[in-house]
Amino acid sequence: MHQVAFRLGNTRLLFMNAHLAAHQGQMEERTRSMQRILESSPIRKRKDMSGVHREYDRVFFMGDLNMRLNEKRETVDAWIKAERFDECLKTDDLLPLLKGDSGHAGLWPDFQEAKITFPPTYKFDKKSDVYDSSKKQRVPSWTDRILWKKDVAIKSLSYDWVPSLKCSDHRPVFAQFEVKVDLNWSGPPRVVRKSSVCAVQ
């Protein structure tokens, strides 16, 4: 897990990258891990807020979040072939939690995601466009995700994948945003120090 925070003018920004628990049926563990990341952050200062993300104005949470589709492989394959990604997304682990449709959503409802319009980005045979052909026959899923804390000052401009990069069983995803910041800033506060003189003879 990595966290980078900085101030741009009067606006505080936080970027977090995480690799959550893998495999089907591990959504509860992923939710607990996400909550631990936010609540136990080493850069968290205020204990009266449930999560470091609430201390910052603009927050992005991304990485291999390992979200899975809860459907049979042959069904998902047919949907992908027909480019019916909306059907695939109905079985996605994450989307109901972002909407707060689950009683065990944790802090996921604090975040949102742009609409996914590209095929599942995991799991491919290496250097191939073929989804997992091994004996495990893993269900294709959107495991790599880019989220942001709900905020009218953040506008999603694009969200897509890079199908040409085939060095991994994942295809990379990227996002572009327009973010409003407050640049009306006069610099850090002046620190008044008492002068001292040291003389050596």
Residue-wise pLDDT for 41-53, tens only, equals 999 988 777 899 9
Residue 20 has pLDDT above 80, yes or no: yes
CA dist 16 and 5 (Å) reads 9
Nearest to 145 by CA among 70, 83, 67, 89: 67
> What are the sequence ranges of the domains in the chain?
2-179
Range 49-70 average pLDDT: 95
Q: What pLDDT band is residue 192 in, cutting at 50, 70 and 90?
A: low
pTM for this one? 0.89
CA distances from 23 to 92, 111, 181 (A): 13, 22, 38
What is the DSSP pairing of strand 173-179 with strand 154-161?
Answer: antiparallel
CATH architecture of the domain with range 2-179: 4-Layer Sandwich (3.60)
Q: Report percent pLDDT > 70 for the chain.
A: 93
